[in-house]
Chains A and B, each alone.
Chain A
């Protein structure tokens, strides 16, 4: 939460990144449930965290 207190800056960054990672995992699961093919991107992709695979592009 926004008003949460952290012992160090690193703790705050770890908290944010863990939440971010788990949220992406959750979104990917929801997309898979709907039969939408996708995968997690790596390397701080400027296009986003999830790659959505469109059949016509393959």
Chain B
């Protein structure tokens, strides 16, 4: 049999935060220690049929002892090209039956780069806007203005992480 099995541990930071940075509950510490002991039982050199993935958006906060137990470490920087960005925002625009013009998309794209927004940040902007549209009859011009405004003011994960690093150093 040539089957492979995958185990995906999403949000690994939920119970694998660095032991010297947090005041974790004892149960969380025990869960992390148990995970490490279980990971030690797998020998990647003898079997590659069972693969374990640990996923987090804050890799710097994960306990180094946990990180060490994963054979391969990879980071993904999801940055859109202008074309993909335009497709993405027009996909998010669909429920509001609205289309962003090329000119506006270029403006939003430059804010996206400048403010280090992530796809998650953009989805959150559109989610709030969509919910807001149930209370307001936005015209196309209203939406054009509002989206630019939200791109400029709403939460940016990139900026947040940058500030956190500056404070830590």
Chain A residues within CB distance 8 Å of chain B: 1-2, 15, 18-20, 22-23, 26
Contacts and interface: CB of A to CB of B under 8 A. Distances in A.
Interface in B82-132: 128, 131-132
A22 B138 CA distance: 14
Contacts of A18: 134-135
Which of B128, B131, B132, B135 has most A Cβ within 10 Å?
B135
Contacts of A23: 131, 134
Contacts of B131: 19, 23
B14 to A, nearest CB: 25
Interface of B: 128, 131-132, 134-135
A1 B134 contact: no
A33 to B, nearest CB: 12
A26 B134 contact: yes
B157 to A, nearest CB: 17
B134 A22 contact: yes
5 contacts: A1-B132, A19-B131, A19-B132, A23-B131, A26-B134
B55 to A, nearest CB: 28
Nearest to B150: A1
B150 to A, nearest CB: 9
A15 B135 contact: yes
Contacts of A2: 128
A15 B132 CA distance: 10
B121 to A, nearest CB: 15
A1 B136 CA distance: 11
A18 to B, nearest CB: 6
Nearest to B153: A3
Nearest to B135: A19
